[in-house]
Amino acid sequence: MEKQIYDEKNGLWYELHGDYYLPCLLAPPEEQHPIGVWGQRHLRYLRQHRKALYTELQITGKLNGYLADLDEQAENMFLELVKQMAVRENVTEQLKAKDQMLWVQRMNNIRDRAMEVVNNDLIYV
C-alpha cells in the first residue's frame, strides 16, 4: 500500500496510518500577536466552557487575532473604568499626597471593581 495518495474528487492528500488513510489537513497559517492577561483568561475560558467556538477559531486560524483584539479591548475598557471611577470618587493626586494609605485602599477597590466589570462583560461571556 502506498504511504500517501491523492483523491482527485475532493483534492485532498491522504496518509496511511496503520490500516487507514487519514486526510492530511493543516490549519491555515495565523499571524502571531502578543496576548496579555485578559486574552489568556479568555483563552482558558474558551478551552473549558466554549469548546466549539475555541475549535472553530483554531481551525480557521483566527484564534490568535481574536484573542489579541479582545485583550486590547479589555485593557482599554479597564483603564477607562479605573479613570472614570477615580474621578467620580475624588481619588486624586492631592489625596495621594495627603494620605497615601487611603489612596492605595481606594485605588485597589476601584481596580477590583473595574476588573470585575471587564471579566463579566468581555472575558467570561
What does the pLDDT look like over 74-112, one tens digit per residue?
999 999 999 999 999 999 999 999 999 999 999 999 999
Residue 58 lies in a domain: yes
pLDDT digits (tens, 9 = 90+) for 12-56: 889 999 989 999 877 667 788 999 999 999 999 999 999 999 999
pLDDT at 59: 85
Residue 85 lies in a domain: yes
Q: Are 106 and 89 in contact (CB under 8 A)?
A: yes
29-49 per-residue burial string, b: 16 or more CB within 10 A, e: under 16 = eeeeeebeebbebbbeebeee
Distance CA 71, CA 37 (A): 7
- How confident is the model over 66-77, as a mean pLDDT? 97
Distance CA 77, CA 116 (A): 11
What's the structural domain count of the chain? 1
Residue 57 lies in a domain: yes
Residue 10 lies in a domain: no
Residue 100 lies in a domain: yes
Could you tell me the residue range of the domain that residue 100 belongs to?
31-123
Residue 21 lies in a domain: no
